Every structure is written in structure tokens, then in C-alpha cells.
Structure 1
Amino acid sequence: MSSKFTCVRLTIDGERFELLVRPDQALNYKMGKPIELSQVIGIEEVFSDAAKGMRVSEEKLQKIFRTKDFYKIAEIILKKGELQLTLEQRRRLIDEKKKAIISILSKNFVDPRTNTPHPPTRYEQALEEAHVSIDPFKSPEEQLQTVVDALRPILPLKSQNLVLKVKIPSKYSSKSIGLLKSFGKFLKEQWLPDGSYTAEIEIPAGLHPSLVEKVASLTKGEAEISILARK
């Protein structure tokens, strides 16, 4: 495999499908930035093992993807597959996400013993002590609850929380549940007769604007969100 390229891997029914792609362009594509697919692709081939140069036959591509069109197949692999980040990319993304998470913590949590924020350096130390793994692809907001749960045994934390009631139309419910769970703790959930989904969820107050924005985007503004309580 050329050092100019990295690999995107997708496994379907135990079969492995790999593309060789340009690292920075592929990362931009995965992060939703506007870039032509042709600028991402390094070699117009689908491999079962790119490192060994083992190509997938057209017959197998047709069977699995229902097409032999390379770019249609490449789009599926890029969107659903796992991008092998370079060391530099991984380090940079994790550092960016870590700084953003620490910023959220500093704005929304205090030391209950003093009612003042912990210094950013203390959060950095605690993240190391707790062996917190930062996901380079997930947003800081999606990772915040996991980080807070990991830090609490090490670092005293107090925040103002909100209890929200969220109602999602049926056509968006399956996609929305995972998003809601990434923001906080579920207190109650219910499926209504019309197929819509309601939940009461407790989240850090500082995440409220982000949750509203993401839910509105996912549901095209059709969801209903209200504040039930402040804790």
C-alpha cells in the first residue's frame, strides 16, 4: 500500500471491502465537508485486502452492492466504513475534541466544595487518571456524559441540570433515540398510539442549546422540546 494513501474498510456479511483514499480529503468527506468523491479516491479499485492488493471481483460487488458502478460503491464504503486515520490526524482530532470537552466542563461544572470551576489543567490530569478514551469522530456533546461519568470518582463535580420533555414524530423516532441518549440520562420514555415517541431526559444545562439544534436538524423542526425542571 502506498504511503500516500490510507484505507477505508467496510465489512458486510463477513466480507471485507476496502478503498485506498487520500487521508486529508477522506477525513474531510467523512466529516461532511463539501468535497468531490473523485478527489478522495486514491485508486479506483475495491479491495478485499488493500495491503496485499487483493481486488474484489465485479460479480461479488454486484451481489453485495447491487451495482458495479465504482463511485456508487465507493460512496457507500466511505459513508458507512471505518477510516483508518493517520497518527497525525488521530492526534490532532483527539486533541481538538479534548479541548472542546474541557471547555464545556469548565462552563457547566464546578467543584462543589468551593463552588468554583476546576482549572482546565485539572481536567486534563483527571482525563489521564481516568484513562478516558476520546472518540475522534464523535462530537464533544455526544461524549460529555461518558466523560463526566468517568471523572466523577476522581473529581468532585456539580452542575445545573435540566429535565426536558421531548416529543419526536414517528418518522424520526428511531434516529432520534440514539442522539438523545448521547446527551444525558433517560428518566421516562413512552411510545404514543400515533407512533410518536416521548421521553423525559436529564442533561447538563450547558448542553441544552446543542441538543435543541441537533434534534431540530434531525427532525426538520418537527420535534417538541420543553423544560420541565431545573436541578
Structure 2
Amino acid sequence: ARGEATARGEAMFVPVGIKKLTNVAIVRYKSHGTRFEIACYKNTVLAYRSGFEKDLDNVLQSTQIYANVSKGVFAKDEDLINVFGTSDQEAICVIILQKGELQVSDKERKAETEHVFRDAVMTLVEKCVNPATNRPYPPGMIETALRDIHFSVDPKRSAKQQALEALPKLQEIFPIKRAAMRFKVNVRSDKAQELIDFIGENDGEIETNDVGSTEVSLTFTVDPAKYRAFDKFVKDVKGRLEVVTLAVMEEGTSSGTFDEDTMKSTVKQAELDKAEEALAKMEISRPVVARSAPDVQSRATQLETLSSDDANILVKRGPIAALPEDHESRRERFADIDKYQEGWEVELRAREGSSIVDAVFYSPEGDLCKTYADARRKAMAAAKS
């Protein structure tokens, strides 16, 4: 009978209390062990919460409160009164909109996260420069750098705030800084010298200085982090502060002085150093366990039993900087030790019957260090003493 009714074009039976909606954004609110949901238009909930949208008719598909929007099941009046103290569904919709959790699919969440990530990239492109050229980096390079430092975004937070929080980590792997802001300040003549001194104290650079009969107008650039300090200073002296340029930078993009390959190798080296330091700490804290197989020796034991005569020496003991070109990567990596303490020497040995190359280090006092991590740690300790 149902099939015949459908064939005749008649509406199918829908139980009372059920109304199905599709293509909606669901906001869910749980309290007192009961779930309540409201059906909203897509992309309007966040606009309402941020204050850009104030008309509920543009946000809600219906003022009906649901127990389950997907199944079209209405919430019971007694549950509404028990939780909210009223059965006024429009008033309850406002509460759910403000306090409820917006339900987002995995696909939508991924798209939103990627959108915030792109915004973060453009924030850094628009507000940061290469200190050497004062030019911005191209978006592709910034994106690569952020992914290399494993930067992840929170879709619920400001992209600008998260981008600027990532700046210190980016500065560890390649040269980048906030572009300076340009300000124009007007103060009374008797406050001019006080303003000039304040600009100098905050590492600002004066570009123009127009002196009038009763007023002085200065244009200068300074780090954006100093904005609040200057705003307070100008208010205290009853002057006027105007932002002329949000980011002072040269035209073009900065790509020639620092390429992506250099950046990636820097990231790889930093990660390698961290891994070696962690491994060294593990080796120090690990309890000594007797080995059941006496023929298996550790790397340290092997090196200890090898003398300069019976080891297959690839590069004889000498200064780190003297390592030959075919060991350039090791030379660059080990150079970090000489930065902390000069006079270290290195010797490269090949293990018997293996292609593995071991590096052993000798301190300026002649002490043997069997790993790079040990040598680096000893050099750092000497630099601090």
C-alpha cells in the first residue's frame, strides 16, 4: 500500500513529532543528561558568535528544539523546562547558540583547518621580512617552513595570533623578523626632545622631523611590539599618534639570499641534534644490564678495544675543520663543537667488515669522547665554566 501511495505521488507517512532537515549545521548542547540540538544554516553560527550576524532568522533554519536533528525528533517540553526553566524555544535557541558545540564533519574540519593555516601563511608573508633585504618571503617558502617545524593550527583561534606565535620557532631555522611599522606623531614643541629620546630608547628610526612654531611632527619606524608603549606615551603628552604603514618593506620577494634547501638542511640538523641529545640522556639514565651473548659488543666497547694500529682509519686524528671534502657534511655538523670550545680533534674509523663509519673525538686536553653528543656536551660545559 505504501509503494502504491508513493507511485501515485502521495506524501509518505511521517510520524507526529518528527521533522527531518538536511544540509544543516547542528549545534548541540548537553545538560542534566539530556541532549538538545538546533538546526542552523551553514557558515552562520560562527558569524553570530563573533557578532557579525545578529538576526536569528539568518542563523536558524527553525526555532524548534530537537533531541536529534538527523532523525527529526523534537525535544520534550518537560525536558526544556527542567533544564532551561522555560519552554520559550526562541530564548532557548539563543542559549544553545552561545553555549552549544557546533558539530562539524571530518571533511569540514579539515577544510577549516587548512583555511586557517593558509591565513597564517599570508599573515607571515604580509607582516614579516628577511632582515638582510627587508623584503617578504614568498608564500610557498613560508608554508614549507611552517610544515617543517610541525606547525599546527587551532581552527577556533585567530590565524594572526597563531602565526605570530610561530615566529620564534621560524627564527631558529632561517632569518625572519616582523616588519617595522611606520608612525606619525604630533606633539607640542616642548615635548619634542622627550619624544625623540623615547624613540631612541625603543630602537626606532626617525625618517622626518618637521618643526613648527608650536608643534613638532615626526615620522618614524619601530617594531610593532612597541605600539602600545608609544600609544601610552603620546596620550600622556597629549599628542596625536597615526599609523602610516602597517608593515614597512621593500618591493619584491626575498628568495635569493636564503633558499628552501638551506632551510630544510637547517631543520634536519636541528632535529638531529635534539635526537642525539635525547639519546645521550637515555644512555646516561639507562641501567646497566648484563648481556647473555658475550660476543655482542656495543659501539663504545668496540671503539675502546680498537687502537690506532688495528682500526681501519679513514681519516687520521686532526682538527675538525681539516676534514676532507668527501666528509663535508660531517665537517659542517661537527663544527658546532669548535663553536663552544676550540682545539677539538676528530678521527674517522671504519668498522671491520662493515660500511659504518665511526667518529671519535679528542678534547683539547686529550680526553677521548666516543660519540658526537658526548663531545658536544663536554665542549658546552667547558664554555660555561
TM-score above 0.5, yes or no: yes
Q: Distance in 1 between matches of 2:120 and 2:81?
A: 43
DSSP-derived class of the 2:44 partner: helix
Paired position in structure 2 for 1:189: none
Q: How much does 1:8 deviate?
A: 0.9
Contact 2:44 2:53 in 1 (8 A): no
Contact 1:8 1:81 in 2 (8 A): yes
DSSP-derived class of the 1:23 partner: coil
Q: Does 1:75 align with 2:98?
A: no
> In the TM superposition, what are the counterparts of 1:51-66 in structure 2 within 5 Å?
51-66=70-85
Q: Distance in 1 between matches of 2:176 and 2:223?
A: 14
Q: How much does 1:51 deviate?
A: 2.9
**CA spacing shift, 1:16–1:112, aligned 2, 3 Å:** farther
Q: Who wins on radius of gyration, i.e. which is larger?
A: 2
Which of 109, 120, 130 is residue 101 of structure 1 equivalent to? 120
Q: How much does 1:157 deviate?
A: 3.7
Q: Does 1:11 align with 2:19?
A: no
Contact 1:141 1:207 in 2 (8 A): no
Q: How much does 1:71 deviate?
A: 1.0
Q: How much does 1:6 deviate?
A: 1.9
Paired position in structure 2 for 1:26: 45
DSSP-derived class of the 2:38 partner: strand
Contact 2:130 2:137 in 1 (8 A): yes
DSSP-derived class of the 1:16 partner: strand
Partner letter of residue 35 of structure 2?
A: R
Paired position in structure 1 for 2:103: 84
**CA spacing shift, 1:16–1:129, aligned 2, 3 Å:** farther
Partner letter of residue 64 of structure 2?
A: E
- Root-mean-square deviation (CA, aligned residues, Å) is 4.0
Paired position in structure 2 for 1:136: 155
**CA spacing shift, 1:80–1:115, aligned 2, 3 Å:** same
Number of residue equivalences: 174
Paired position in structure 2 for 1:125: 144
> In the TM superposition, what are the counterparts of 1:26-45 in structure 2 within 5 Å?
26-45=45-64
Q: Distance in 2 between matches of 1:120 and 1:35?
A: 35
Q: How much does 1:42 deviate?
A: 2.3
Partner letter of residue 33 of structure 1?
A: F
Partner letter of residue 5 of structure 1?
A: V
Cα offsets for 1:39-90 (capped at 9, x unmatched): 3222433234333444432222223222211111111111222323467865
Q: Percent identity?
A: 29
Q: Distance in 1 between matches of 2:32 and 2:179?
A: 46
**CA spacing shift, 1:31–1:103, aligned 2, 3 Å:** same
Structure 2 spans left out of the alignment, 5+ residues: 1-19, 181-221, 234-385
DSSP-derived class of the 2:124 partner: helix
Which stretch has the larger CA shift, 132-141 or 75-84? 132-141
Q: Distance in 2 between matches of 1:53 and 1:150?
A: 49
Q: Distance in 2 between matches of 1:39 and 1:107?
A: 34
Structure 1 spans left out of the alignment, 5+ residues: 162-203, 213-224
Q: Distance in 1 between matches of 2:225 and 2:69?
A: 41
Partner letter of residue 49 of structure 2?
A: K
DSSP-derived class of the 2:120 partner: helix
Contact 1:100 1:140 in 2 (8 A): yes
Cα offsets for 1:106-160 (capped at 9, x unmatched): 3443445766543221111123334433333432333234433554555554347
Q: Distance in 1 between matches of 2:62 and 2:170?
A: 44
With the length of structure 1 as denominator, give the TM-score of the two structures. Answer: 0.55
